[in-house]
Chain A
Amino acid sequence: MRRYVITAAVVLLVAIGVLSGRHMALSLSASQAPGHSFRISGTAAGLMPGKAVPLTVTVTNPDAQPIRVTSTTVTAQAAGRDCPSSLLAITSFTGTPQTIVPARGHADIHLSITLSVQASDACRRVSFPLSFTGRAEQWQ
């Protein structure tokens, strides 16, 4: 009889543990996994041919959990017919140095952007539109 009681207790505890964990997983999946996103912005000015200019990218985290940025990529578009995006060389971020964005806070990532020496005078006083994409993971 005692053996049945103990066995039942074991089964009950395991079941509670599994169900609790699954419940947590389902809760997190339903409330956090879909739609997690953060904002990225940044501008650079004073581009001149052959000169690397700092491009400070600001990552803003709207969530209540801190995140660690694992990658950031910048894509440029042409600034008119005579200034194709291929004239720009932009560095990317691959997670190093470690960048933690606090909950409902922001953090900067430092990249650089260089205008090719092949740029013509037509590329003076023009703006290249930039698009940012990035990935992050939950941090603690």
Chain B
Amino acid sequence: MNLNIRKPLITTAIAGGIVAVSATAAFAFWTATGTGSGTATTADSSTDLTITQNAFNGSALVPGGAAQAVSGTIANANTFAVPITSFVASVAVDSTHAQAGCSAAWYSVPTLTPPASVPAGGSANFSGTVKLNDTVGTNQDACKGATVTLTYTAS
């Protein structure tokens, strides 16, 4: 009879001891915090825009004649949209006609309309006109058959 009482009590006592240890060990669980510093540096350059003029479909330029339309696209390979704040075109005449006396200054680009911005990884169109101005009192025959090259610069 005594054995029947003793065993459960001893078992209970051992269990109580273990539970007490486990409970306090769990209570001792800790957390930690971390701190530090670093930097994030921006790139020093981006990819240039690519400007391509479409094939010229206008009439041959003649002194004082109507301005002829030009058009093209501006491509942007960057990961961000590029706003166009400046868009200009310069005119050059092929060397043969330039040497013959055809001046690039006789040509002009009366209108040039760029897109407001070029989307990231995309392209946008531009348009404009080019003409050969009539220089009164000056023989412009040197420009007959000349090839005019427009060079566009966007920023």
Contacts and interface: CB of A to CB of B under 8 A. Distances in A.
Nearest to A19: B20
Contacts of B14: 13
A64 interface: no
B40 interface: yes
Given A36-B33, A37-B35, A137-B32, A6 B40 contact: no
B14 to A, nearest CB: 6
Contacts of A135: 31-34
Interface residues of B, number: 43
Given A16-B17, A17-B17, A20-B21, A6 B9 contact: yes
Given A44-B39, A125-B41, A127-B41, 6 more contacts: A13-B14, A17-B19, A50-B81, A63-B32, A88-B40, A127-B42
Interface of A: 2-3, 6-7, 9-10, 13-14, 16-18, 20-22, 24-25, 28-29, 32-33, 36-51, 53, 55, 57, 59, 63, 67, 69-70, 72, 76, 79, 83, 88, 113, 115, 117, 119, 123-138
